[in-house]
Amino acid sequence: MDNSKYIGKMVKIKIDRPLGSIHPKYNLIYPVNYGYVPNTISGDGEEIDAYLLGVFEPKEEYYGKCIALIKRMDEDDDKLIIVPKGKDYTDKEIEALVEFQERFFNHKIIRHESMISDEMIELVKNINNLYYVELELIKNKVNEIIEKKINDLNYIEHVLDELLNLPIIEAEELYYSLCDYLKQINNDSYKFYKKEYKKMWN
């Protein structure tokens, strides 16, 4: 179950184990307020649990911002990290404050920036690799045009269009070289692509 949707949002929680209370089963004193999000279901079949940090008195309920999520790796029992609006904690600070309970579980802290899946990261890498493969192919075309002094205007303009559609900075040098070569072939076309060059990279 994906409870990451709460990160960055204001959430109302009920506190059933207020600061200073004792765990009903274990000899454990709660150094922070601990509760749950009403009318929700977590992976363990219970309501989603939440730590309330930055509030130093016992509470019965609270409306605060979820800044992170503790994901237990060996069980489906996520914990939201709720704080007063405008307050923030580093991962190390969160770990220190919830250590009294989370030290018994293999877990990790998830933030917004951590929500990008491994599949998404791999996809971005593959797309980036494709850009550079395409760049290498276009580079061969540019070198061929300049070295063989090809004067086919339509072909040259086509290659320039390909470079304009390649969103990586390395395409700029090739575009500039081919645009400079185009000046010898057709001055009007050169002026047009020079303007496009300024729009794209200036």
CATH of residue 71: 3.90.80.10
Residue bearing tokens 């877990």:
107
Q: How confident is the model at residue 83 (pLDDT cuts 50, 70, 90)?
A: very high
* 75 and 11 within one domain: yes
Percent of the chain with pLDDT over 70: 93
Q: Which of 73, 97, 114 is the last residue of a domain?
A: 114
Selection from 15, 64, 52, 60 nearest residue 36 by Cα: 15
Domain count, the chain: 2
pLDDT computed for residue 4 by the predictor: 85
* 122 and 108 within one domain: no
* 37 and 86 within one domain: yes
* 174 and 193 within one domain: yes
* 135 and 109 within one domain: no
Mean pLDDT computed over every residue of the chain = 87
* 106 and 130 within one domain: no
* 96 and 35 within one domain: yes
Contacts 24+ apart (CB under 8 A), 133-136: 134/162, 134/166, 135/166, 135/168, 135/170, 135/171, 135/174
* 84 and 165 within one domain: no
What value does the CA radius of gyration of the chain take, rounded to a whole number of Å? 29
Pairing mode of beta strands 49-52, 107-110: unpaired
- In this structure, is the dihedral angle defined by the CA atoms of residues 112, 115, 120 and 124, taken in order, positive or negative? positive
Write the pLDDT tens digit of every residue in 164-198: 888 777 788 888 899 899 999 898 998 888 888 77
pLDDT computed for residue 75 by the predictor: 84
* 42 and 11 within one domain: yes
pLDDT computed for residue 114 by the predictor: 47
Write out the residue range of the structural domain in which residue 187 sits.
118-201
* 94 and 150 within one domain: no
Q: Which of 114, 129, 145 is the last residue of a domain?
A: 114
Is-contact 179 190, C-beta < 8 A?
Answer: yes
- The mean per-residue pLDDT over the stretch 39-67 comes to 92
* 166 and 104 within one domain: no
| DSSP annotation of 158 | H
- For the chain, what is the largest distance between any 2 Cα atoms, rounded to a whole number of angstroms? 85
182 is written with which tokens? Answer: 């185009």
Is-contact 50 80, C-beta < 8 A?
Answer: yes
pLDDT computed for residue 172 by the predictor: 86
| DSSP annotation of 63 | E
Lowest mean pLDDT among 33-42, 57-66, 69-78: 69-78
Q: Which of 97, 114, 131 is the last residue of a domain?
A: 114
* 101 and 14 within one domain: yes
